Amino acid sequence: MPMDPETAPVRPPFESWGRYPSYDATLKPLYWQGDFPGALAGAHSGALPVGMGRSYGDVCLLKEGTLLPTTAMNRLLDFNAETGLLTAEAGITLAQILDFAVPRGYFLPVTPGTKYVTLGGAIANDVHGKNHDVAGSFGNHVPCFELVRSDGTRMLCSQKENPDWFAATIGGMGLTGLITWAQLRLQPIVSRMIDYQGIQFHGIDEFLDLKKQYEQVAYTVSWVDCVSTGKNFARGIFMLGDHSKVPAQLTTTPKPKLVFPFNAPGFALNRASVSLFNTFFFHKQMKPHVSTLQDYEPFFYPLDKVLHWNRMYGKRGLLQFQYAIPWEHAKEGTEAILKEIAKSGLASFLAVLKTFGDIPSLGMMSFPQAGIMFALDFPIKPNISFPLMQRLGDMTLEFGGRLYPAKDACMTAPQFQAFYPKWQQFTRYKDPALTSSFWERVTASEGAAR
């Protein structure tokens, strides 16, 4: 029953996906494009637009600040059924876009491993998918968007209009202003199905050979066993797929019902259980090479079936480590890092290996760059995890790579500033009213000018 509207700000928990770090913030949801910048009134310690909080660390957090959730701003504004050009408010999720587009014979041009992210969040992190080699990152498929600054300025941004703001905002981590709406170029499909193949490999060389052999396949990704050593070192499964060319069902996906019900106890994830899981996963695929027709849901979003699977890591949360290392050092870097991880005794269920192609990102601060990309999740064990993340970050730097802010909770200011040398140029486009815990952290020390 309707109760009093409280004058006090609401503080329901807003967690990022990793559940670490955890900060209090005031939530002021945006319902309409015109709600910003008015919603900033009273936001003294800064503000930050946020989407679904599907980033792992603190790019979508602001300690003691004001978070502006955008998910109620989820309207479709225009759709051209012939070209697949969709215009929508930035708070719409990719799941909602798929519900609309798939029955009409269209699919996302690029999608991350979960569909529960917003259009704005996907642009702000310039997310990548399994088709980076052939499609580049998300921003490459966004012809234009509107950016609203805290002083009320509204800008149409594209490669022609306000191109510098366009470049700063793609991958701009929500710091350049609010994206109110954006255009997205969808790709045509004739079926929900994916022509899928899974191929076992042993070691990075075999992985790279496979990659070369299947160059023309749109979607590729590999799962790697990062626990096993010796002859099983860096074994994995190379998974690839293309949208099926055989016209078939184009229906929406039913809502998931399975919810991971509780925070798993800390001992549930250890080296032994992960090792068991990995061996099971590797051999679940009975033959070295399988080929089948698979629905797009399990292919792109294997984990979305279980909402809140992050609870599997317990209350403490998890850390993700994700790098891109250029070709020059890709193989040696990846092997060295895999060895370092195996040595640490920490285990990861989700170790994902893939390659980035050479279509350049449009964003000034975008993460993807040609080479090898590797991502894994660690449970938090304070004495081991943090020093390990530190070492892995330094190794990444040594091999000329960089870490992904969207997945990060640990990189230091010197690391960040070396990974992203354009960061100083980027600060010119930062909105003075907006900031994030991530940004405060990576620009704080070493006398860095902000």
Partner 1 sequence: MSSMEHTQTATNAEQQLPIRYAPTAVTDDAAEAGPRRILVLGATSGIAEATCRLWAARGDHLFLVARNADRLHVVAADMRVRGAGYVDTAVADLDDTTKHAELLAHAVNSLAGLDLVFVALGVLGDARESERDFAEANRILQTNFVSVVSLLTWLGNYCAQRHHGTLAVLSSVAGDRGRKSNYVYGSSKAGLSAFVAGLRNRIDREGVRVITIKPGPVKTAMTAGMDIKSGMADVDDVAATLVKVIDKGSDVVYVPGKWRIIMAIIRAVPEFLFKKLNL
Ligand X SMILES: Cc1cc2nc3c(=O)[nH]c(=O)nc-3n(C[C@H](O)[C@H](O)[C@H](O)COP(=O)(O)OP(=O)(O)OC[C@H]3O[C@@H](n4cnc5c(N)ncnc54)[C@H](O)[C@@H]3O)c2cc1C
Contacts to ligand X by CB under 6 A: 17, 48-55, 59-60, 70, 90, 112-114, 117-118, 120-122, 124-125, 127-129, 173-174, 178-179, 303, 406, 436
**Short-list 224, 241, 376, 344, CA closest to 298:** 241
Q: Which does 389 bind (CB under 5 to 8 A by kind): ligand X, partner 1, none?
A: none
Of residues 127 and 239, the one with the C-beta less far from ligand X: 127
Closest among 175, 212, 234, 205 to 405, alpha carbons compared: 175
Supply the minimum distance, in Å, between the C-beta of residue 197 and partner 1.
25
Chain residues in the site for partner 1 (CB under 8 A): 1-8, 10, 29, 31-34, 72, 75-82, 89, 100, 103-105, 188, 190, 247, 250-251
Among partner 1, ligand X, none, what binds residue 1 when CB lies within 5 to 8 Å by partner kind? partner 1
Shorter beta-carbon distance to ligand X: residue 52 or 338: 52
Of 186, 188, 209, 184, residue with least CA distance to 199: 209
Kindly list the distances between the CA atom of residue 163 and the CA atoms of 168, 274, 362, 437, in Å, as whole numbers in the listed order: 9, 46, 10, 27
Nearer to ligand X, 93 or 191 (CB): 93
Closer to ligand X at the Cβ: 33 or 278?
33
Q: In what order do the strands lie in the sheet with 76-80?
A: 76-80, 85-89, 178-185, 144-148, 154-158
Q: Distance (Å, rounded) from C-alpha 274 to C-alpha 339?
A: 16
CB nearer partner 1, residue 293 or residue 384? 293
The answer, yes or no, to whether the previous bond of 37 is cis (omega within 30 of 0) is yes
Interacting partner of 10 out of ligand X, partner 1, none (Cβ under 5 to 8 A depending on kind) = partner 1
Q: Which is nearer to partner 1, 26 or 137 (CB)?
A: 26
**Residue of 445, 373, 368, 377 whose CA lies nearest to 411:** 445
CB 179, min distance to ligand X, A: 4
Q: Of these partners, ligand X, partner 1, none, which one is at the site of residue 100 (CB under 5 to 8 Å by kind)?
A: partner 1
Confirm if 250 and 322 have CB atoms less than 8 A apart.
no
Residue 104 touches which member of ligand X, partner 1, none, C-beta under 5-8 Å by kind: partner 1
CB of 389: closest distance to ligand X in angstroms?
A: 17
Question: Residue 78's binding partner, choosing from ligand X, partner 1, none, with beta-carbon cut-off 5 to 8 A by kind?
Answer: partner 1
Token pair for 278? 């990995």
Q: Judge contact between 63 and 14, C-beta under 8 A.
A: no
Task: Read off the amino acid at residue 99.
Answer: D
